Copies of this chain bind each other. A is one copy, B any other.
């Protein structure tokens, strides 16, 4: 998929240019969403857009595009790549700026949409390790999906170096927060639980869907995971079973939806 959508234009990935003074590049000053498009339609687009808009308001980045604009942009992106289904990543930054932290008084935000293949529907179960790097549940930034993603990157690297597929991240209090880029669902006593946002869990779009029905929020201590009847990671793209954490086997069960 060698075409992307950048500030209203369809361009090839090898010619599209991000300005070296873009604050997304220089300061991680922006947000993103990862979405699944199936048969030409983006799943849960209004929910993704609402989270993006909420994050943009918190960061004072003028979004400047309606949900309908984003929907049209996604359609153009899929058409340009001659696909109907894809993983679509939306990146919004505050755009170029002069040196320093203070945003320009009239920012010209950058909006980028890129497409990649959807992950296979059936993926092997995940082996996790517990990362040494923690989620900062005390920061309001843990509630929005920002470009400040180094804790997740470090956790993922730590997992790879340990021969694992992904990492479980705890918060500073020692409670389970999430995986490196996914929420965590844990089955205990026949009921599914997921860590609260106040514990450092990103308010995931699929997580919100699951909380309407079969999953409840609850604090989860790492020690409880050894009693789990099943564990899944949850993203907009997939629910994936966890088969092992830090070398300890996790039972397999059907997912909660």
Which chain A residues have a beta carbon within 8 Å of chain B's beta carbons? 4, 6, 13, 16-29, 32, 59-60, 87, 89, 91, 93, 98-103, 112, 114, 116, 133-134, 136, 138-141, 146-157, 160, 172, 180-181
Question: By the criterion CB–CB under 8 Å, are B99 and A28 in contact?
Answer: no
Query: Chain B residues with Cβ under 8 A from A19's Cβ?
Result: 18
Question: By the criterion CB–CB under 8 Å, are B149 and A27 in contact?
Answer: yes
Query: Chain B residues with Cβ under 8 A from A6's Cβ?
Result: 20
**CA–CA, A87 and B98, complex, Å:** 12
Question: By the criterion CB–CB under 8 Å, are A138 and B141 in contact?
Answer: no
**CA–CA, A151 and B59, complex, Å:** 10
Query: Chain B residues with Cβ under 8 A from A23's Cβ?
Result: 153
CB distance from A221 to the nearest CB of B (A): 18
Out of B134, B138, B149, name the residue touching A101 (CB < 8 Å).
Answer: B149
Out of B20, B28, B151, name the residue touching A149 (CB < 8 Å).
Answer: B28
The residue in chain B whose Cβ has the minimal distance to the Cβ of A60 is B157
Question: By the criterion CB–CB under 8 Å, are A147 and B21 in contact?
Answer: no
Known: A17-B18, A148-B150. A157 touches B103 (CB 8 A): yes
CB distance from A31 to the nearest CB of B (A): 10
Question: By the criterion CB–CB under 8 Å, are A25 and B27 in contact?
Answer: no
**CA–CA, A255 and B82, complex, Å:** 63
Query: Chain B residues with Cβ under 8 A from A87's Cβ?
Result: 99
Query: Chain B residues with Cβ under 8 A from A32's Cβ?
Result: 26
Out of B26, B138, B149, name the residue touching A91 (CB < 8 Å).
Answer: B26
